[in-house]
Chains A and B, each alone.
Chain A
């Protein structure tokens, strides 16, 4: 039951492609790569990937110490992105702090860097006497959400879903449902993660990390490509300000796009490898929620991370539902996999695509793999009138998420 229409009125992004949502889209349009060689990874025994997509040029000291002391890097990224989204949405101090605004923001895990610091001390000394007070606030599962809420004085609900690669997409979906049900007028929604060798190592252990392009980092990941060899781990934060249409219109806020559908389903066939059928079902459920027919969808922004099995399964799922002519691309060829942030960052790009009528192709897609060719894979920037976008994210643990976005027209 949807009581209210939900629109997007603000965007904020911190990513390997730079600071700001506009910068993200500019870099995507220009076909830039955010992936670099990371020399520190060479010191880790047995680790194949020596590359990552890291956030550069962010000064944490722009955040007051009192707020920053409980933050690891992911919370810093998230706060800066949230501030950008609120500024774009022209949300004033009273609206921000008097209960109308909530937050739904998650990460894959708490700060692994901080956990490493804790256990380094603890395992050596078998003592907690030298553990500082702020460590737990960086480790706890809702660290990003709590830190951003504290810093911005958000007094509405604080939610912190954790669904690995689906976190950002799921957060936007949960924010959409919260507003649609009338529980909050507006929600800051998104995901954030910080790079740590734990993440790259996790995928490497499962033979799902890209290792063949360590000397040419900008040539990987390669979603849908014949020579794809896995995920490249990245970091960042993406935040979208969602708001009821009533609230946005009453405030005179600029409406950037409309969230019209969401589905989150579980694939219990395997904890790591996605099965096409549940992916299809998830997309169909989002379309049903949006009361939208498949013929209305102009483009699918895929989760596609560049793994052998995942890309194929998603292509088969999309092809089954939409047929061979649907335009599809993945932004992970530019960004790498920003984990919990990926859904939100990629949705931000989708909002720009809707508004500008510009479809961004998959970077590094030189030779489309036969097993991925059942859909129309974009290989160059296309300009067209785009009204509806489907956005997928699929996570380890079998958590599938799909969001349906629609261009907002004032003559509705």
Chain B
């Protein structure tokens, strides 16, 4: 899976889970200010992404620091690369 495909899959998963207009899911979009997501949504986001990509995120301190889509994409891509390595 290419990075772009990963990003598209991430966007599709979050748009479905949080009923978001997919055009809002841009790299600069902030979870809180642009997408209206809160800390409880963040918990569910982890579960959705784990299931979507077959990765383990859990309570990884790195995911807690992420507040926008660009950083989320980078995190997912790194996770997938770790898995592939």
A residues sitting closer than 8 Å to B (CB atoms) are 61, 65-66, 69, 129-134
The residues of B that contact A66 with a CB separation of less than 8 Å are 36
User: In the complex, which of the residues A61, A65, A130 contacts B47, with contact meaning CB atoms closer than 8 Å?
Assistant: A130
B residues sitting closer than 8 Å to A (CB atoms) are 18-19, 36, 40-41, 43-44, 47, 50-51, 58
A61 to B36, CA, bound (A): 17
Interface pair B18/A65, CB less than 8 Å apart:
yes
Interface pair A133/B36, CB less than 8 Å apart:
no
A66 to B58, CA, bound (A): 23
Q: Which residue of B lies closest to A132 (CB)?
A: B44
Interface pair A133/B19, CB less than 8 Å apart:
no
Are A133 and B51 CB-contacts (below 8 A) given A65-B18, A65-B19?
no
Interface pair A133/B18, CB less than 8 Å apart:
no
The residues of B that contact A130 with a CB separation of less than 8 Å are 47, 50-51
User: How many residue-residue contacts, CB under 8 A, span A and B?
Assistant: 22
* Main SS at interface, chain B: helix
Q: Which residue of A lies closest to B48 (CB)?
A: A132
Closest CB-CB distance, B68 to chain A, in whole Å?
20
A65 to B44, CA, bound (A): 14
User: In the complex, which of the residues B19, B40, B50, B51 contacts A134, with contact meaning CB atoms closer than 8 Å?
Assistant: B40
Closest CB-CB distance, A328 to chain B, in whole Å?
48
A132 to B47, CA, bound (A): 7
Interface pair A134/B58, CB less than 8 Å apart:
no
Interface pair B44/A129, CB less than 8 Å apart:
no
A69 to B19, CA, bound (A): 11
* Main SS at interface, chain A: loop
A61 to B19, CA, bound (A): 10
Interface pair A133/B40, CB less than 8 Å apart:
yes
Q: List 22 A-B contacts (CB under 8 A).
A: A61-B19, A65-B18, A65-B19, A66-B36, A69-B40, A69-B41, A129-B47, A129-B50, A129-B58, A130-B47, A130-B50, A130-B51, A131-B47, A132-B43, A132-B44, A132-B47, A133-B40, A133-B41, A133-B43, A133-B44, A134-B40, A134-B44
The residues of A that contact B18 with a CB separation of less than 8 Å are 65
A194 to B55, CA, bound (A): 36
A65 to B21, CA, bound (A): 13
A387 to B51, CA, bound (A): 61
A66 to B20, CA, bound (A): 12
Closest CB-CB distance, B81 to chain A, in whole Å?
23
A132 to B50, CA, bound (A): 12
Closest CB-CB distance, A128 to chain B, in whole Å?
11
The residues of B that contact A133 with a CB separation of less than 8 Å are 40-41, 43-44
The residues of A that contact B40 with a CB separation of less than 8 Å are 69, 133-134
The residues of B that contact A134 with a CB separation of less than 8 Å are 40, 44
Closest CB-CB distance, B42 to chain A, in whole Å?
9
A69 to B50, CA, bound (A): 20
A130 to B18, CA, bound (A): 17
Closest CB-CB distance, A215 to chain B, in whole Å?
40
The residues of B that contact A65 with a CB separation of less than 8 Å are 18-19
- The 8 A-B residue pairs with the shortest CB-CB distance in the complex, in nearest-first order: A133-B43, A133-B40, A132-B44, A65-B19, A133-B44, A132-B47, A130-B47, A65-B18
Most B Cβ at <10 Å: residue of A61, A69, A130:
A69
The residues of A that contact B43 with a CB separation of less than 8 Å are 132-133
Closest CB-CB distance, B12 to chain A, in whole Å?
17
A216 to B37, CA, bound (A): 48
